[in-house]
């Protein structure tokens, strides 16, 4: 087979662009549970700074799992063997870790998902904690195993808003759903210092329950 020089140049251009933006891992195609596990191991071994404190590492790992699960919950392309199709990127730039995912979503699901994202982005950190606690207490999970709960938890564990966009496909009635989340260790430490302390024993117990549920969710995916 003759070497396509133009193709090679295009690949090198893409590589340089990814490198400039601090992207260390890119995958496009079918997502299975095994591939999800592989990404978490690679991120932990190759991308996350070894000097990061345990809390930051755990949050990055948690967000990585949650973004991948979020992709599978909202993907309209899945079977029993393949939980979804899409694009996944993870990188670090200017001391901030970020994860980008994209997948196809049908038009009839777009409005509901967009509404959930807007609600989550409009909430304060204390409001997110209350929303998360309420969903756990009342058991209000979606038909796909907690899509709303996952978005709330993702927002609680990241710094900044959930950055998203819906790009329409021309050939059918569907959209490309793109989601970007960021974790800045410095901002994370600042937010943790600013968080309001529990004002009574009941609040303290509820906070412990919320954190325990988060830990259980992580352990189930390891």
Is the per-residue pLDDT at 17 higher than 80?
Answer: yes
What pLDDT digit, counting tens, does each position of 132-174 carry? Answer: 888 887 765 544 444 478 899 899 989 889 999 999 987 778 8
Cβ–Cβ under 8 Å, residues 71 and 103: yes
**pLDDT for residue 77:** 55
CB contact set of 107 (below 8 Å; sequence gap of 6+): 173, 174, 175
pTM of structure: 0.76
Question: Residue 132's CB: how many other CB atoms inside 10 A?
Answer: 19
Instruction: Quote the distance between the C-alpha of residue 204 and its chain's center.
Output: 27
Q: 22-122+160-189: which CATH topology?
A: Heat Shock Protein 90 (3.30.565)
Left (φ > 0), alpha (ψ -120 to 50) or beta: where does 145 sit? Answer: left
**What does the DSSP assignment read for 41-68?**
HHIIIIIS-TTS-HHHHHHHHHHHHHHH
3-state helix, strand, coil in the chain (%, to 5): 55, 20, 25
User: Domain coordinates of the chain in residue numbers?
Assistant: 22-122+160-189
Is the per-residue pLDDT at 178 higher than 80?
Answer: yes
Average pLDDT over residues 55-61: 83
Quote the mean pLDDT of the chain: 78
Torsion sign (Cα): 68, 74, 76, 78: positive
pLDDT grade, residue 6 (50/70/90)?
A: confident
Half-sphere exposure of 147 (CA within 13 A, CB side): 16
What pLDDT digit, counting tens, does each position of 23-41 carry? Answer: 888 888 877 778 778 877 8
Instruction: Quote the distance between the C-alpha of residue 221 and its chain's center.
Output: 14
What pLDDT digit, counting tens, does each position of 63-79 carry? Answer: 888 888 777 776 665 44
Angle at 209 between CA 206 and CA 213, to 5 degrees: 145
**Residues in the chain, total:** 222
pLDDT grade, residue 80 (50/70/90)?
A: very low
């Amino acid at each position: 087979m003759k070497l396509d020089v133009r193709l090679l140049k295009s690949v090198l251009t893409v590589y340089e662009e990814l490198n400039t933006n601090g992207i260390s891992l890119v995958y496009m195609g079918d997502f299975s549970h095994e591939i999800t596990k592989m990404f978490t191991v690679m991120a932990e071994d190759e991308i996350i700074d070894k000097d990061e404190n345990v809390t930051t590492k755990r949050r990055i790992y948690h967000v990585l799992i949650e973004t991948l699960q979020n992709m599978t919950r909202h993907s309209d392309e899945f079977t029993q063997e393949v939980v979804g199709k899409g694009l996944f990127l993870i990188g670090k730039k200017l001391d901030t870790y970020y994860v980008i995912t994209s997948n196809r979503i049908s038009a009839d699901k777009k409005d509901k998902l967009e509404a959930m994202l807007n609600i989550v982005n409009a909430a304060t950190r204390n409001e997110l904690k209350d929303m998360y606690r309420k969903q756990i207490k009342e058991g209000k999970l979606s038909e796909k195993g907690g899509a709303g709960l996952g978005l709330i938890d993702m927002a609680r564990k990241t710094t900044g808003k959930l950055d998203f966009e819906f790009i329409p496909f021309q050939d059918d009635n569907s959209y490309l759903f793109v989601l970007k989340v960021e974790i800045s260790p410095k901002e994370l430490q600042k937010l943790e210092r600013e968080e309001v302390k529990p004002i009574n024993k009941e609040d303290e117990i509820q906070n412990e329950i919320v954190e325990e549920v988060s830990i259980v969710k992580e352990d189930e995916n390891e």
